[in-house]
Amino acid sequence: MNRFLALFLLAFILIQPSVFAQQKILKEAIDRAQTEGFSGVVLVAEDGKILLEDAMGMRTYENRVLLHESDIFELASLSKQFTAMMVMICKEKGLLSFDDQLSKYIETPYPGITIRNLLTHTSGLPDYQAVMNQHWDKSKVAGNPEILEYLRKYKPAKSFEPGDKYEYSNTGYVLLASIVEKATGEDFVELMREWIFKPLAMKNTDIRSLEEKAKVKNFAAGHIKDGNGNYVNANTFQSSDYTIWLGNRKGPGRVSSNAEDLLKWDQALYTEKLVSKKTMEEAYSAFKLNDGTRSYYGFGWEIKPQSPFGKMVMHTGGNPGYSTIIVRYLEENKTIIILNNNAHPDMMRLVEAATLSLGKW
């Protein structure tokens, strides 16, 4: 997916249509996506001002409830940028250092890993979900303490030595949330509400349990096609079961939000409401691997040093039925947010069209 976006950005530099054509491309892409069954919200903004926000599809297919712009979606791995911010706030409060050893906070069978390795996916840690899937009693709900217990108990082999290469790691972000709890003595969920969601007035954003989600009227359910080609709730598929028996995990996912709250978050990152600009610059910096090459994943953000609008940071997310993305062009304060709740293949076409539309309004 990201390689596809990179190729598109190159093409954008070479061929740029007129202003009118740029806007027309986005409108046509939205119309096409809607015709082809895309369900989700598209938001395009510049300098924090919404240029376009559109909702299409269904909040729930079973009840034929239409989707609205304010509806709340599972963000999946977009949650990692919030986890990284919690670590950055801890650092600015003097509670930890990015180059502290993991072993200072959490006992694991994996020595030599720093907090910076966890943030940048350069730790070499094994996949926690694999070991839990193999050994955990799925009639029970696991969280971070149980995940850590099973990593210590079964000691699955690491993939590589810390800093040798980049490999996306949900395990690393579980450990980051646990480090925040260890450093602060507070619950990660409550602290995220106190440190991020409330100060930024992100009233639609939270880490919600299954029971809490059920009480949110405008929560957009994730949907997958059944054998007959009909969209049904993703929770009815066995592939979604892990969201239940790993339902108490913190760090790699589980934040739910809507497009306008994510725009509030996006704009706050240009200020010093949460952390200093110096710390944010570090979050957007490439990691130097042991062999001297660069890995372009910062603290919860994929980094593209060159794009049609200068430096870009972005992240995608995927849960059963959900596909999400935020694209931020830092030098020109341009933003694309797309939240999808039927795992539709048109999402990246919409990202392309939205990028073209940002040329000028």
Strand order in the sheet with 255-257: 73-74, 255-257, 206-207
Tokens of 342: 């039927």
Q: Give first-to-last CA distance, the chain, whole Å.
A: 27
Which residue reads 């991020």 in tokens? 196
C-alpha–C-alpha distance, residues 249 and 265, integer Å: 23
Tokens of 95: 């509670």
Q: Tell me the longest C-alpha to C-alpha distance in the chain.
A: 61
252 three-class SS:
coil
Tell me the chain's radius of gyration from C-alpha atoms: 20
Residues 45 and 361 sit within 8 Å (Cβ to Cβ) = no
| Cβ atoms within 10 Å of 346's Cβ, excluding its own | 21
Which amino acid, residue 84? A
Q: Which residues are catalytic?
A: 77
Residues 354 and 26 sit within 8 Å (Cβ to Cβ) = yes
Q: φ, ψ for residue 59 (rounded to 5)?
A: -65, -45
Question: What interhelical angle do 347-357 and 19-35 show, nearest 10?
Answer: 160
Compute the C-alpha angle 215/219/224, nearest 5°.
Answer: 120
Alpha-carbon 309 to chain mean position: 22
Question: What's the helix, strand, coil split of the chain in %, to 5?
Answer: 40, 20, 40
